[in-house]
């Protein structure tokens, strides 16, 4: 059975050892002065009134006459004399913002610590650090540098002659600032980025590992270290990014087009023969060597023979004849190139001349689908007009030569048949067409929330286990169960040594020398686990709970004896809420608050050699280490959770792989043309959370070559909401706005893909020599269909020349416009497959009269050709849906995550609406 020896008994025993020679058989004689000084309780003998020692058996030895010793004196030694003061630091170097323990000790000549004296310390320089009122013995460095700490005992006139050196090191990077020089460049010119950083307290830190990023990301952006070259004109955000750094200051790089290098121009509306009274346009497009439009290029137009001008690059077809219109770039050009373009056209006055006046043929209107409007046409004929009809319904006259019909606007192509008959019975037929949309976005503009990701609560945390990875919190589990947590706690505890100062706890009575010295230091620690992590979405962020279980803290006594002991902690629970948002266009995760810190049962496991040392030793150790657990260990776990989750989620969310989706992709050669390189421009547009989901919005644009001149209203936005909230059945949902398909089609149109040299070759079964060249005058556009996923596509108006040996001696001029529907399915992940294509409306106009039988035969062939064009446009020209994955950082390989691991949408299903294609699946590897 373990017994405990009281302090008083220990003193008596030690005194007996000091005075030695006493045994039961022959007790050593003691003087009265010795007795008085001992004060150790009753002894075996008693002192007689005259000072003689009386033995227990009553027999007193004959000692002879007692000498005169004079008065009794105090035999105690004088108190120890303080001769020095010593400075001790918990750590010789700490990071800025971290505490360092200062201990000042007064020493005697033997180097023993003397208690009870007031001590102070000085720090030089006297600025750049602080102390907290509730912890005056802790220094917190704020400005990195060297400091000298000196302890003093003012009342004793003592000062440590050898101050302790304390180095305050910069903390981890907390703020990054990006600079770019020069801030404005021409496309293709280099710029140099610079990244600088500070810790949370403003100390400069090394950020050589920071990466330079540009937003939006596209194929025209090249970053090599700090060197930046951009070939796509526009305005770019330039930032520096480093894992765990949440505060960034970005800058702007303006990229302007270079010198004119290419010129293209074309007739509008696109015809080879124009009736009298029509306005013929000849818009031009000037680009630099990278295909960027040079909008301020100086242009000069000429026309031979002359026609009346109708504004810049527009002419009134007032006289029959053949005309040549040309345009040339003036001023400085790339490599002194000669940039000119020219086209011929014919003005012919046969039959009634029909001009689509309002809306103008081939125009693009901003109007809501279903809105009512009017179509105004101007009809001229020297013999007079007998009748005009629109879609088979008589149009009403509205002034000289003007006829009006009521129409209803539709999204996309609007085409209406117009037939005019003069007084002699001559008929002319054509159609008037325009495109309509409720709104447009600029050709080069990014559409906010063009792609939306919806991470449900289960995608954020679906519980243990963490293999395979099926939620973001699985990554947190890997981190908190790693050695990093133990290392963090160990560093925090080591900086607090000594936990209990090594002081004299028991002194020898009378003599005053130290009998028992005792202190305690932290040695090591371990976490037995299993640790538990959970995360819950909240409004504006994420609440993360970490429970660390079965902590063992090992300590060692210092002083008279040096055995080890152990402190066991059942659990420590820390709950922290993080805000999740966008800052400077990048995902930003930062701590909102610590919601809870709960410490479980704490037990102290002491060996008997310590427990029996002196009264209060157990309380002393337990109190010190309990405070250590509740303060330093809890704070270390809290700090670990705050910093690691912040860094991890910021890194993972920032690694949503927009860059790879922004890489150039090749559209294969279509309709006999050349391949076209396109790229997505992608940038974050929104990031927010509520209790049900984490929503990530991505702004999208499509980049590509500019080869086709002319102005458009922009990229058509289908009717419906610009952004939607998803409610997926799976853990991850995604929505792609149909405007992305229109951006791709618009860019392909601008690249000249829809200038088709021989559309007839698409069929392969037409008679020999039959060919159809087509020039589609407006960008194709699509909208989604309600119900089953599908799209409706508008194509046209288009002009062309039909060569048909045996039917026509000369090429037949034709105009076309069509609407078609198709179903949509997913193949191989995010690849769209269009099927069931059918033309729902086809308008055809020829420049010569023909029999109904001939017209029907030609229309049948044209219908098949248009269907083949639409099939190629949908299935070969459109890119995969840009649904990004999370490319996990390589740093996670330290936690067992294989390099190259990606998390994203898996096994998706597809549904649709007029404005969006929606995907529903699971989140995982």
pLDDT for 412-461, tens place per residue? 999 999 999 988 888 889 999 999 999 999 998 999 999 999 999 999 99
pLDDT higher than 60, residue 36: no
Model confidence band, residue 68 (pLDDT cutoffs 50, 70, 90): low
The pairs formed by 157-165 with CB atoms below 8 angstroms and a separation of 24 or more are 158/82, 158/83, 158/84, 158/85, 158/106, 159/85, 160/84, 160/85, 160/86, 160/87, 162/87, 163/87, 163/124, 164/87, 164/88, 164/89, 164/92, 165/92
So what's the pLDDT on residue 465? 87
Residues 87 and 153: their CA atoms lie apart, in Å, by 11
Residues 307 and 315: their CA atoms lie apart, in Å, by 6
Task: Provide the 3-class DSSP secondary structure of residue 307.
Answer: coil
Cα-only R_g, the chain: 45
Residues 824 and 161: their CA atoms lie apart, in Å, by 84
Strand partners, 909: 920
pLDDT higher than 70, residue 44: no
For residues 121 and 87, the answer to whether their CB atoms sit within 8 Å is yes
Phi/psi at 523 (5° precision): -110, -55
Q: Dig out the tokens for 99 from the structure.
A: 């505490």
Task: Provide the 3-class DSSP secondary structure of residue 102.
Answer: strand
Q: Residue 59: left (phi > 0), alpha (psi -120 to 50), or beta?
A: beta
Most confident of 16-20, 108-112, 476-480, 577-581: 577-581
Mean pLDDT is lowest, of 219-228, 722-731, 846-855, for: 846-855
- Which CATH superfamily hosts domain 711-921? Bactericidal permeability-increasing protein; domain 2 (3.15.20.10)
Q: Dig out the tokens for 359 from the structure.
A: 């809306």
Percent of the chain with pLDDT over 90: 60
Tell me what the pLDDT averaged over the chain comes to. 87
So what's the pLDDT on residue 48? 35
pLDDT digits (tens, 9 = 90+) for 675-697: 888 989 899 999 999 999 999 99
pLDDT higher than 50, residue 49: no
Residues 805 and 807: their CA atoms lie apart, in Å, by 6
So what's the pLDDT on residue 62? 53
pLDDT higher than 70, residue 157: yes
So what's the pLDDT on residue 66? 54
Q: Which residue bears the tokens 């090749």? A: 666
pLDDT higher than 60, residue 873: yes
Q: Which residue has the higher pLDDT, 840 or 384?
A: 840
Strand bridging mode 273-274 / 340-347: parallel
Q: Which residue bears the tokens 């002393």? A: 620
pLDDT higher than 60, residue 71: no
For every residue of 150-208, which 3-state class applies, written as one string?
EEEEHHHCEECCCCEEEEEECCCCCEEEEEEECCEEECCCEEEEEEEEECCCCCEECCC
So what's the pLDDT on residue 73? 47
Sorted by sequence, the CB contacts under 8 Å of residue 869 that are 6+ apart come out as 671, 756, 759, 762, 774, 795
Residues 288 and 305: their CA atoms lie apart, in Å, by 31
Residues 238 and 227: their CA atoms lie apart, in Å, by 12
Q: Residue 445: left (phi > 0), alpha (psi -120 to 50), or beta?
A: beta
Cα→Cα distances 834→360, 433, 822, 824, Å: 32, 26, 6, 5
Q: Which residue has the higher pLDDT, 494 or 123?
A: 123
Strand bridging mode 532-538 / 514-527: unpaired
The residue-averaged pLDDT of 528-555 equals: 95
Q: Dig out the tokens for 78 from the structure.
A: 């004088």
Q: Residue 126: is it exposed, middle or buried by C-beta count within 10 angstroms (0-12/13-18/19+)?
A: exposed
The residue-averaged pLDDT of 229-237 equals: 94
Kindly provide the b/e burial profile for residues 69-101, where b requires at least 16 CB atoms within 10 angstroms of the residue's own CB. Answer: eeeeeeeeeeebebebbbbbbbbeebbbbbbbb
Q: Dig out the tokens for 121 from the structure.
A: 């310390």
pLDDT higher than 80, residue 18: no
Q: Which residue bears the tokens 């008279």? A: 560
Residue 269's closest CA among 408, 441, 389, 432?
432
Residues 149 and 147: their CA atoms lie apart, in Å, by 7
CATH architecture of the region 175-256 = Sandwich (2.60)
Asked if domains 175-256 and 258-348 share a fold, the reply is yes
So what's the pLDDT on residue 877? 85
Model confidence band, residue 660 (pLDDT cutoffs 50, 70, 90): confident
Model confidence band, residue 54 (pLDDT cutoffs 50, 70, 90): very low
Residue 780's closest CA among 834, 723, 848?
834
CATH architecture of the region 258-348 = Sandwich (2.60)
So what's the pLDDT on residue 37? 36
Cα→Cα distances 601→575, 606, 782, Å: 18, 16, 66
Residues 879 and 394: their CA atoms lie apart, in Å, by 45
pLDDT digits (tens, 9 = 90+) for 464-483: 888 899 999 999 999 988 88
Cα→Cα distances 258→186, 228, 292, Å: 5, 16, 8
The residue-averaged pLDDT of 611-615 equals: 79
So what's the pLDDT on residue 50? 37
- Which CATH superfamily hosts domain 441-668+675-710? Bactericidal permeability-increasing protein; domain 1 (3.15.10.10)
Q: Which residue bears the tokens 């040339």? A: 328
For residues 552 and 526, the answer to whether their CB atoms sit within 8 Å is yes
CA dihedral 912, 916, 917, 920 (to 10 degrees): -90
pLDDT higher than 70, residue 38: no
Q: Is the dihedral of CA 195, 196, 200, 206 positive or negative?
A: positive
pLDDT digits (tens, 9 = 90+) for 351-388: 788 999 999 999 999 999 999 999 999 998 878 899 99
Domain extent listing, the chain = 7-54, 175-256, 258-348, 350-437, 441-668+675-710, 711-921
The residue-averaged pLDDT of 526-541 equals: 95
pLDDT digits (tens, 9 = 90+) for 876-905: 888 888 899 999 988 888 888 999 999 999
Strand partners, 340: 328
Task: Provide the 3-class DSSP secondary structure of residue 873.
Answer: helix
Q: Residue 399: is it exposed, middle or buried by C-beta count within 10 angstroms (0-12/13-18/19+)?
A: exposed
The residue-averaged pLDDT of 93-104 equals: 92
The pairs formed by 561-566 with CB atoms below 8 angstroms and a separation of 24 or more are 561/609, 561/610, 561/613, 563/607, 563/609, 563/610, 564/523, 564/607, 565/520, 565/604, 565/605, 565/606, 565/607, 565/610, 565/621, 566/604, 566/605
pLDDT digits (tens, 9 = 90+) for 751-798: 989 988 888 788 878 888 888 888 999 999 999 998 789 999 999 999
- Identify the CATH number of the domain defined by range 350-437: 2.60.40.10
Q: Dig out the tokens for 148 from the structure.
A: 């000298």
pLDDT digits (tens, 9 = 90+) for 274-288: 877 788 999 999 999
Percent of the chain with pLDDT over 70: 91
pLDDT higher than 70, residue 53: no
So what's the pLDDT on residue 331? 94
């Amino acid at each position: 059975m373990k017994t405990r020896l009281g302090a008083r008994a220990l003193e008596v025993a030690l005194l007996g050892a000091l005075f030695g020679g006493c045994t039961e058989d022959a007790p050593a004689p003691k003087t009265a002065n010795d007795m008085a000084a001992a004060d150790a309780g009753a002894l075996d003998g008693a002192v007689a009134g005259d000072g003689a020692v009386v033995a227990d058996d009553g027999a007193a030895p004959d000692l002879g006459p007692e000498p005169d010793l004079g008065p009794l004196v105090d035999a105690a030694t004088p108190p120890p004399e303080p001769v020095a003061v010593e400075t001790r630091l918990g750590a010789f170097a700490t990071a800025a913002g971290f505490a360092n323990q200062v201990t000042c000790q007064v020493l005697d000549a033997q180097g023993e610590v003397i208690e009870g004296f007031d001590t102070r310390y000085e720090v030089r320089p006297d600025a750049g650090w602080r102390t907290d009122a509730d912890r005056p013995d802790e220094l917190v460095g704020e400005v990195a540098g060297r400091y000298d700490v000196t302890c003093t005992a003012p009342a004793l006139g003592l000062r440590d002659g050898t101050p302790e050196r304390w180095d305050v090191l910069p903390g981890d990077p907390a703020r990054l600032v990006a600079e770019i020089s020069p801030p404005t460049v021409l496309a293709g010119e280099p710029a140099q980025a610079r990244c600088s950083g500070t810790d949370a307290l403003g100390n400069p830190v090394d950020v050589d590992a920071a990466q330079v990023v540009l937003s939006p990301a596209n194929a025209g952006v090249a970053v090599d270290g700090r060197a930046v070259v951009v070939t796509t004109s526009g305005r770019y955000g330039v930032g520096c990014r480093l894992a765990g750094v949440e505060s960034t200051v970005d800058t702007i790089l303006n990229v302007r087009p270079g010198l004119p290098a290419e010129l293209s121009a074309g007739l509008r509306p696109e015809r080879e023969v124009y009736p009298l009274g029509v306005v013929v346009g000849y818009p031009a497009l000037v680009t630099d060597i990278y295909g960027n439009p040079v909008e301020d290029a100086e242009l000069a137009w000429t026309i031979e023979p002359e026609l009346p001008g109708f504004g810049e690059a527009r002419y009134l077809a007032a006289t029959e004849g053949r005309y040549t219109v040309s345009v040339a770039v003036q001023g400085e050009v790339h490599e002194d190139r000669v940039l000119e373009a020219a086209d011929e056209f014919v003005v012919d006055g046969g039959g009634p001349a029909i001009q689509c006046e309002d809306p103008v043929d081939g125009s693009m209107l901003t109007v809501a689908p279903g809105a009512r409007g009017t179509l105004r046409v101007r009809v001229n004929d020297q013999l007079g007009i007998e009748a005009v009809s629109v879609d088979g319904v008589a149009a009403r006259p509205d002034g000289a030569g003007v006829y009006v019909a009521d129409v209803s606007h539709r999204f996309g192509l609007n085409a209406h048949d117009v037939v005019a008959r003069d007084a002699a019975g001559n008929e002319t037929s054509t159609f008037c067409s325009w495109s309509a949309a409720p709104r447009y976005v600029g050709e080069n503009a990014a559409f906010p929330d063009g792609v939306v990701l919806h991470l449900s609560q289960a995608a954020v945390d679906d519980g243990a286990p963490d293999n395979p990875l099926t939620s973001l919190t699985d990554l947190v589990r890997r981190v908190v169960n790693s050695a990093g947590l133990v290392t963090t706690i160990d560093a925090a505890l080591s900086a607090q040594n000594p936990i209990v100062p090594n002081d004299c706890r028991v002194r020898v009575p009378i003599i005053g020398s130290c009998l028992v010295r005792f202190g305690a230091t932290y040695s090591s620690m371990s976490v037995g686990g299993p640790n538990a992590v959970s995360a819950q979405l909240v409004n504006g962020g994420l609440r993360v709970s970490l429970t660390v279980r079965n902590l063992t803290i090992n300590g060692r006594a210092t002083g008279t004896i040096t055995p080890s002991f152990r402190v066991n902690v059942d659990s420590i629970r820390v709950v922290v809420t993080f805000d999740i948002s966008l800052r400077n266009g990048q995902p930003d995760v930062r701590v909102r608050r610590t919601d809870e810190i709960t410490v479980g049962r704490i037990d102290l496991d002491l060996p008997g050699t310590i427990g029996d040392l002196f009264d209060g030793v157990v309380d002393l150790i337990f109190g010190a280490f309990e405070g250590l657990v509740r303060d330093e260990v809890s704070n270390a776990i809290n700090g670990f959770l705050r910093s690691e989750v912040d860094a991890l989620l910021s890194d993972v969310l920032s690694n949503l792989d927009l860059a790879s989706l922004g890489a150039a992709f090749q559209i294969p050669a279509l309709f006999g043309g050349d391949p076209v390189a396109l790229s997505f421009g992608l940038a974050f547009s929104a990031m927010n959370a509520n209790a049900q989901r984490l929503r990530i919005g991505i702004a999208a644009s499509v980049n590509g070559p500019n080869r086709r001149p002319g102005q458009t209203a922009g990229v058509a936005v289908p009717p419906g909401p610009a952004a939607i909230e998803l409610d997926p059945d799976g853990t991850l949902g995604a929505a792609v706005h149909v405007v992305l398909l229109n951006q791709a089609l618009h860019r392909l149109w601008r690249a000249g893909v829809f200038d088709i040299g021989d559309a007839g070759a698409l069929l392969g079964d037409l008679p020999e020599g039959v060919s159809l060249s087509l020039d589609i005058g407006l960008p194709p556009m699509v909208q989604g269909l309600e119900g089953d996923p599908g799209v409706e596509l508008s194509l046209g108006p288009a002009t062309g020349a039909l060569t048909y040996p045996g039917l026509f001696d000369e090429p037949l001029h034709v105009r076309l416009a069509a609407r078609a529907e198709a179903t949509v399915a997913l193949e191989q992940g995010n690849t769209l497959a269009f099927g069931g294509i059918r033309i729902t409306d086809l308008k055809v106009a020829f420049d010569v009269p023909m029999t109904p039988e001939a017209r029907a035969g030609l229309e049948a062939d044209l219908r098949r050709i248009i269907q083949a064009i639409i099939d190629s446009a949908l299935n070969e020209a459109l890119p995969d849906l840009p649904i990004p994955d999370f490319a996990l950082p390589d740093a996670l390989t330290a936690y067992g995550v294989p390099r190259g691991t990606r998390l994203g949408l898996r096994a998706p299903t597809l549904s649709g609406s007029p404005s969006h294609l929606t995907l529903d699946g699971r989140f995982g590897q």
